[in-house]
Amino acid sequence: MRITIRQYLVCSVATALLAAATWVSAGNEHDDGHGHANICIRSASNMFRSCRYEADEEFFATNAKCINQVDSDHPSRKECLKQARATYLENRAGCREQKAARIDVCELLGEDRYGPEALLDSDNFVAEPDDSNPYFSLQPGHTYVAIAGENNEEKIVVTVTDEVREVLGVNCRLVVDIVLVEEEGELVAVEVTDDYYAQALNGDVHYCGEVARNFEEGVLTNLDGSFEAGRDLAKSGILIKAYPFSGDAHRQEYLLGEAEDVIQYVAGADNPTSVGYGEGGENLNFPCAGACVKTEEFIPSSPGVGEFKYFLPGTGFVLGVALEDGIPTGERDEVICTGESLDVLSDPQCGIANPGELRDKLCELSPVAFCE
Residue 243: partners with Cβ closer than 8 Å, 6 or more residues away? 203, 268, 269
Q: Indicate the DSSP class of residue 121.
A: -
Residue 256 within any structural domain of the chain: yes
Residue 83 within any structural domain of the chain: yes
The most confident of the ranges 225-229, 293-297, 355-359 is 293-297
Average pLDDT over residues 310-338: 94
User: Is it the case that residue 115 has pLDDT exceeding 90?
Assistant: no
List pLDDT tens digits, range 40-57: 999 999 999 999 999 999
Q: Virtual CA dihedral for 88, 91, 97, 99, nearest 10 degrees?
A: -100
Residue 337 within any structural domain of the chain: yes
SS3 call for 215: strand
Residue 118 within any structural domain of the chain: no
Both 143 and 103 in one domain: the answer is no
Q: Provide, rounded to the nearest whole percent, the portion of the chain with pLDDT above 70.
A: 87
Residue 218: partners with Cβ closer than 8 Å, 6 or more residues away? 183, 188, 189
Task: State the pLDDT at residue 285.
Answer: 93
List pLDDT tens digits, range 44-101: 999 999 999 999 999 999 999 998 876 666 778 889 999 999 999 999 999 999 999 9
Longest Cα separation, the chain: 78
Both 78 and 175 in one domain: the answer is no
Both 350 and 319 in one domain: the answer is yes
Both 160 and 263 in one domain: the answer is yes
Q: Which domain holds residue 174?
A: 123-370
Residue 62 within any structural domain of the chain: yes
* Position 170 confidence tier, pLDDT thresholds 50, 70, 90: very high
Both 41 and 76 in one domain: the answer is yes
Residue 158 within any structural domain of the chain: yes
Whole-prediction pTM: 0.87
Average pLDDT over residues 339-350: 95
pLDDT: is 19 or 185 the higher one? 185
Both 238 and 147 in one domain: the answer is yes
Tell me what the pLDDT averaged over the chain comes to: 87
CB atoms within 10 A of CB 218: 13
Both 150 and 252 in one domain: the answer is yes
Average pLDDT over residues 251-277: 94
User: Is it the case that residue 9 has pLDDT exceeding 50?
Assistant: no
User: Of 55, 82, 109, which one is at a domain's C-terminal end?
Assistant: 109
Both 85 and 144 in one domain: the answer is no
Instruction: Count how many domains the chain has.
Output: 2
Both 234 and 127 in one domain: the answer is yes
Q: Where are the beta strands (DSSP E) in the chain?
A: 143-149, 154-167, 170-183, 186-199, 205-216, 219-222, 227-228, 235-240, 249-251, 253-254, 262-267, 293-298, 305-312, 316-324, 327-339
User: Of 109, 140, 170, which one is at a domain's C-terminal end?
Assistant: 109
Both 162 and 212 in one domain: the answer is yes
SS3 call for 257: coil
Residue 115 within any structural domain of the chain: no
Residue 116 within any structural domain of the chain: no
pLDDT: is 282 or 118 the higher one? 282
Both 199 and 233 in one domain: the answer is yes
DSSP string over 282-320: --SSS--TT-BEEEEEE-TTSTTEEEEEEEETTTEEEEE
Kindly list the distances between the CA atom of residue 156 and the CA atoms of 68, 297, 303, 343, 369, in Å, as whole numbers in the listed order: 44, 19, 25, 16, 14
Task: State the pLDDT at residue 7.
Answer: 43
Pairing of strands 262-267, 186-199: unpaired
Both 190 and 339 in one domain: the answer is yes
User: Of 87, 109, 131, which one is at a domain's C-terminal end?
Assistant: 109
